[in-house]
Amino acid sequence: MTDEELETSLDQAARWLRVSKRVCVLTGAGVSAESGVPTFRASDGLWEGHRIEDVASPDGWNRNPTLVWNFYNARRANVKSVAPNSGHYALVEMEKRWGDRFCLVTQNVDGLHLDAGSVNVLEIHGSLRQTRCLGCGEVTNRGLDPLSDAPECPQCGDRLRPHIVWFGEGLDDVVWSAAMVAADECDALLVVGTSAVVHPAASLVPIARRKGATVIEINLTPTEASAYADVGLYGPSGVMLPKLLQRLAPV
């Protein structure tokens, strides 16, 4: 897209946002790419280097939990070494404008939106920072310090797994219901840095669109969500989100 087309699209997106009473944002791995967190489906992405069925499925876990823990410990170490970027921070500023009428739904498990200071965040795929006990079910925040490759529950001694949604598993009902409400009720949906191929997360886009929300896509390239988008801002989210924020008048 030319510079002129981009300016026009940014102005249009900002106009729509300014008149929106409720705003929902759906983010994916792309929003953290400029922080140094690998995405999944890029040629050098996580799913090129690891088999989903080995490290992100219940079968993989049952076959070799040590391998799974090694994978998540490496991801935890990666996130410990990075920081939120200007895209995360622009979303923090946007939330201040709409307050509790702003909901940030993220597929990311890196916790960088919370580190940046976003408040109303729904981590629909779980968090790298949390473990869940296979015995007592307790979910605990562990931060990002290294865990062993066979961690045990401090409460009951049973095995711990990453509190991450794997392929073939359902999302947490409460968190997912809140995400659907946010998409259903918003006047504008920002879809940022996601290939929009993983469901049910990606279905938030048609849910919002069907209810008449304006859909604004920010990505390096068009995606599965583009068919629903009223406007696309194609470039890095660490650049596009601050540019969009700049165009929103102060509260």
Which residue is listed with tokens 């970027």? 85
With contacts defined by CB under 6 A, name the span among 8-16, 71-79, 175-183, 188-196 that binds ligand OAD: 188-196
Between CA 195 and CA 205 the distance in angstroms is 12
Between CA 34 and CA 131 the distance in angstroms is 26
User: Quick one: tokens of 247?
Assistant: 């165009």
Furthest-apart CA atoms within the chain: distance in Å? 61
- Beta strand 126-133 with 139-141 is antiparallel
Give whichever of 106 and 120 is closer to ligand OAD, judged by the CB atom. 106
- Check if 163 is active-site: no
60 contacts ligand OAD (rule: CB under 6 A): no
Q: Which residue is nearest to ligand OAD (CB)?
A: 30
241 contacts ligand OAD (rule: CB under 6 A): no
Contact string 61-100 vs ligand OAD (x = CB under 6 A): ----------------------------------------
Q: What is the CA radius of gyration of the chain?
A: 18
Give whichever of 22 and 92 is closer to ligand OAD, judged by the CB atom. 92
Strand partners, 24: 103, 189
User: Quick one: tokens of 40?
Assistant: 């999944």
Which residue is listed with tokens 């650049």? 239
With contacts defined by CB under 6 A, name the span among 15-23, 36-44, 72-80, 206-214 that binds ligand OAD: 36-44
Between CA 200 and CA 170 the distance in angstroms is 9
For ligand OAD, the binding residues in 146-185 under the rule CB under 6 A are 165
Catalogue the active-site residues: 125
List contacts with ligand OAD (CB under 6 A): 28-30, 33-34, 39-41, 45, 56, 107, 125, 165, 193-195, 198, 219-221, 223, 236-237
